[in-house]
Amino acid sequence: MATLQLGDMVPDFTAETTEGPIRFHAWIEGSWAVLFSHPKNFTPVCTTELGAVARLKPEFDRRGIKVIGLSVDPLPEHRAWAADIAETQGHALNFPLIADADRAITNLYGMIHPNASDTMTLRSVYVIGPDKRLKLRIDYPASTGRNFAEILRAIDSLQLTAEHGVATPADWQEGEDVIIVPSLSDEEARTRFPGGWKTLRPYLRVVPQPGRTGLSNRERRNP
């Protein structure tokens, strides 16, 4: 199939997982979702990643995000691997892990890039909106573990911009100023942002984050 691109409706599928069988579109059920793939069970980088997501599960929950992993091994091996993850990472699996032994979902989503490996699934991340459309895709090579803090940061931006029609600048963190999109006229902006904004250039208008409550992540780190 053609490469899955931003804005595309993500393919539906049925699968066996560590938490029982699912139909993917029904499992999303109007929520945001993150699907992330793994090259193989019982591999070191994958083990650390699954432990990291288990540790960060409350952060995904707070954002209304359902998380689900995928690895190209049978379900019994997933259950055995889960014990290793809990013991070595200190966090047990608390989200479903798809068994894709026949690589049907891997191929459906284009998780194998032949110029990188003919057989090995990339560390692909798919952020999917409640409309079941792809909002973000990141592909890492098998040797590079993912930065889940960056994935959460990107989700914060995606959810904010979807709700308020703003854009986020480079290195933005939750709670920091955002940018009024150029398609919004000053007249329209005055209605949407009655508190005003700072104009650096006619195309670069900076405004406090809409709906902000509490301190930003950066302020929490640097009080």
Residue 163's nearest CA partner among 178, 147, 146 is 178
Catalytic member of 10, 28, 46, 93: 46
DSSP state at residue 10: P
User: 113-125 burial, b for 16+ CB within 10 Å, e for fewer?
Assistant: eeeeeeebbbbbb
Distance CA 193, CA 185 (A): 12
**CA distance linking residue 182 with residue 177, whole number of Å:** 16
Which of these, 105, 85, 92, 20, lies nearest to 54 by C-alpha position?
92
Known catalytic residue: 179? no
* Active-site residue set: 46
